[in-house]
């Protein structure tokens, strides 16, 4: 009898364990980093650019996960002339095994310049990138809209999608949108605008310590949004930028999302999820929301559907010199 009871308990525990495993979401996330070779190239002290870039590359190597970087070719230039040292920064990405995509030449807003000018920006954004990749037997495959602004009408979005497809591009969406750029602006402003004192070091550390949980809370929020909208954990696409803050925090950020049970996957793998076939439709406004929110708008979700999104604290906005995210 005792043996039967023990066998029954083992089978119950095994069944509970299997049920728990079955209920656990398949958490996957692809990481993308915009504004290569460096986000605020025009505001970063020229003597510091290479060292900070090297810091970021070290963080990428330490994290050891796939990344697609999106290039603004205008940042390769000084007075219209391409700078070899800045092109070498892109080579570092390729040497590290990371993929590069097109983010337009001048990081322009589609909604401000109009479709014909924007299409020219896409072409101008591959004058260096395409031959650089060709040397390695590659071609640019991914395109990222600056400001995530994808078109004000279905017709404009369709025309741009057709143009991109004809030039070999696929749109890289963003589902985990965030105010990372605000934290990064604040970090850079303190780093470059304050004297090197213990007070500055403390503020920089406070920013880093606030930034990481803020970003992880954003991931949690969009996982809940995915579950509410789609009924499962969508393989997410995370937006970051090449900047001073990620040059000190990126590896820790990746470790944090992995502790939450996420596997960092390629953008190709994430995009195989059928939800991404919905495209960019659902939002005709002037801004650039998460693709999850675009799809929610297409389904006319009520305002309270979007509640609970983490926000950048006021003290960070003040240090960044901006009024809102």
pLDDT digits (tens, 9 = 90+) for 225-259: 999 999 999 999 999 999 999 999 999 999 999 99
Placement of tokens 């390695």 in the chain: 136
pLDDT above 50 for 1: no
| Separation between Cα atoms, residue 323 and residue 215, nearest integer Å | 19
- Take residue 232 and report the two structure tokens written for it: 């499962």
Q: Count the Cβ atoms, other than its own, within 10 Å of residue 4.
A: 8
- Take residue 133 and report the two structure tokens written for it: 């990749």
φ/ψ of 58, rounded to 5, equals -65, -40
C-alpha triplet 58, 244, 193: angle, nearest 5°: 145
| Separation between Cα atoms, residue 3 and residue 99, nearest integer Å | 58
**pLDDT confidence band for 11 (50 / 70 / 90):** low
**pLDDT confidence band for 4 (50 / 70 / 90):** very low
DSSP state of 223: H
Pairing state between β 170-171 and 142-143: parallel
pLDDT above 60 for 18: no
pLDDT above 60 for 21: no
C-alpha triplet 292, 286, 108: angle, nearest 5°: 100
Higher model confidence: residue 18 or residue 279?
279
Q: Which pLDDT belongs to residue 230? A: 98
Task: Please report the domains of the chain, with CATH numbers, ordered by start residue.
Answer: 26-320 (3.20.20.370)
What average pLDDT does range 272-285 have in this prediction? 96
Placement of tokens 């070091």 in the chain: 201
- Take residue 205 and report the two structure tokens written for it: 């550390």
pLDDT tens digits, one per residue of 67-80: 999 999 999 999 99
pLDDT tens digits, one per residue of 186-223: 999 999 999 999 999 999 999 999 999 999 999 999 99
Q: Which pLDDT belongs to residue 268? A: 98
| Nearest to 254, CA basis, from 97, 33, 95, 64 | 64
Q: State whether residue 22 is helix, strand or coil.
A: helix
**How confident is the prediction for the chain on average, in pLDDT?**
94
pLDDT above 80 for 291: yes
Q: Which pLDDT belongs to residue 13? A: 45
pLDDT tens digits, one per residue of 129-166: 999 999 999 999 999 999 999 999 999 999 999 999 99
Q: Which pLDDT belongs to residue 19? A: 42
How far CA 299 is from CA of 123, 203, 292, 302, 305, in Å, comes to: 34, 43, 11, 9, 11
Q: State whether residue 19 is helix, strand or coil.
A: helix
| Nearest to 239, CA basis, from 134, 140, 147, 127 | 147
How far CA 317 is from CA of 149, 181, 312, 323, in Å, comes to: 22, 10, 7, 6
Q: State whether residue 320 is helix, strand or coil.
A: helix
| Nearest to 97, CA basis, from 140, 67, 117, 121 | 67
Number of helical (H) and strand (E) elements in the chain, helices listed first? 13, 9
Q: Which pLDDT belongs to residue 6? A: 54
- Take residue 117 and report the two structure tokens written for it: 């000018």
Find out whether 57 and 250 touch, Cβ atoms under 8 Å: no
pLDDT above 70 for 17: no
């Amino acid at each position: 009898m005792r043996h039967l009871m023990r066998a029954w308990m083992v089978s119950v525990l095994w069944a509970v364990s299997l049920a728990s495993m079955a209920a656990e979401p398949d958490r996957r996330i692809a990481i993308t980093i915009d504004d290569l070779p460096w986000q605020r190239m025009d505001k970063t002290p020229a003597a510091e650019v290479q060292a900070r870039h090297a810091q970021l590359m070290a963080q990428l190597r330490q994290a050891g996960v796939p990344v697609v970087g999106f290039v603004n070719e205008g940042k390769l230039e000084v007075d219209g002339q391409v700078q070899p040292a800045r092109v070498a920064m892109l080579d570092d990405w390729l040497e590290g095994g990371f993929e590069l995509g097109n983010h337009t030449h001048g990081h322009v807003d589609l909604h401000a310049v109009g479709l014909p000018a924007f299409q020219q920006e896409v072409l101008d954004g591959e004058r260096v990138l395409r031959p650089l990749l060709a040397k390695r037997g590659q071609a640019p495959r991914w395109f990222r809209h600056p400001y995530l602004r994808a078109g004000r009408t279905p017709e404009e979005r369709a025309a741009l999608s057709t143009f991109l497809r004809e030039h070999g591009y696929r749109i890289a969406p963003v589902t985990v949108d965030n105010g990372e750029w605000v934290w990064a602006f604040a970090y850079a402003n303190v780093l470059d605008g304050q004297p090197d004192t213990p007070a500055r070091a403390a503020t920089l550390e406070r920013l880093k310590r606030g930034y990481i949980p803020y970003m992880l809370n954003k991931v949690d929020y969009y996982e809940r949004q995915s579950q509410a909208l789609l009924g499962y954990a969508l393989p997410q696409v995370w937006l970051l930028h090449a900047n001073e803050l990620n040059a000190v925090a990126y590896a820790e950020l990746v470790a944090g999302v992995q502790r939450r049970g996420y596997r960092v996957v390629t953008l190709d793998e994430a995009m195989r999820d059928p939800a991404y076939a919905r495209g960019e439709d659902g939002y005709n406004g002037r801004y650039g929301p998460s693709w999850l929110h675009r799809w929610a708008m297409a389904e006319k979700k009520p305002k309270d559907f979007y509640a609970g999104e983490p926000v950048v604290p006021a003290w960070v906005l003040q240090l960044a010199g901006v009024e809102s995210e």
